[in-house]
Amino acid sequence: MTVSLEVSDGVGTIRLDRPPMNALDVATQDRLRELAEEATRRDDVRAVVLYGGEKVFAAGADIKEMQAMDHAAMVLRSKALQDSFTAVARIPKPVVAAVTGYALGGGCELALCADFRIAGDNAKLGQPEILLGLIPGAGGTQRLARLVGPAKAKDLIFTGRHVRAEEALTMGLVDRVVPAAEVYGQAHAWAAKLAKGPALALRAAKEAVDAGLETDIDTGLTIERTWFAGLFATEDRERGMRSFVEEGPGKAKFL
């Protein structure tokens, strides 16, 4: 399998495994969507890590495969491509990308689907599609601009240049830079900590933030208010407040 899902301590690791560079061919894209949907359904998966291995996250699309496609073929395929990445972005649980080595093109776009990105000090990220006479097609023009702002996104997209981990950190493309050997361990630890949290509240928080970014402030506040009130019907809210009153803050244990 080019993509696998392994679960431990409530964390599902979606692992790309298509040596040598984890090129994202059609089969890999489709498998990625299937596993994102599986991670969404499974109760034993409470947080997710996206990982490409110790040497490379994903160096982009399979260019040889794409070269063989004409306009008609890509009209049919482009929606499925975006749907694969959107399935990852819409996992209603915390998702962290553990980025080592190259995360270029589709690889960068996949990392953008996560809620948090931990990069190794050997990481290089970018959207080099312009060098092929193309633009990003798996969400790069949209998610990148929303994350780092339009000017920085246009810099990367217009030039196709790669940025090293420290520059990516400065511009907000990644959230933490660590030694390459520690990337997966830190990503898994971050996810495992959140996996012990209140699942419905985490889902609500993710949806409120993500949906709110797509609309005006008044609609966003309505989304927040609806989720906030709704959580008062959950056992996790009862458990969290009871623990706070009886034991003090930060000691609640959620199922």
**Dist. CA 82–CA 138, nearest whole Å:** 5
Tell me, yes or no, if 129 is annotated catalytic: yes
Q: Which of 36, 39, 59, 61 is catalytic?
A: 61
Q: Is 6 marked active-site?
A: no
Q: Report how far residue 136's alpha carbon sits from residue 149's, in angstroms, rounded to the nearest whole number.
A: 16
The CA distance from 167 to 157, in Å, is 15
Annotation says 123 is catalytic? no
Length of the chain measured in residues: 255
Q: Active site includes 250?
A: no
Q: Please enumerate, as own/partner, the contacts of 64-69 that have beta carbons within 8 Å and a separation of 24 or more.
A: 65/25, 65/26
Pair 60, 25: CB distance under 8 Å:
no
- Phi (first) and psi of residue 177, to 5 degrees: -120, 130
- Is there a cis peptide before residue 128, judged by omega within 30 degrees of 0? no
Catalytic residue among 129, 153, 195, 208: 129
Q: Are 97 and 118 in contact (CB under 8 A)?
A: yes
Q: Which of 60, 107, 109, 119 is catalytic?
A: 109
Q: Which of 12, 60, 106, 120 is catalytic?
A: 106
Q: What is the C-alpha R_g of the chain?
A: 19
Catalytic residue numbers, as ranges: 61, 106, 109, 129
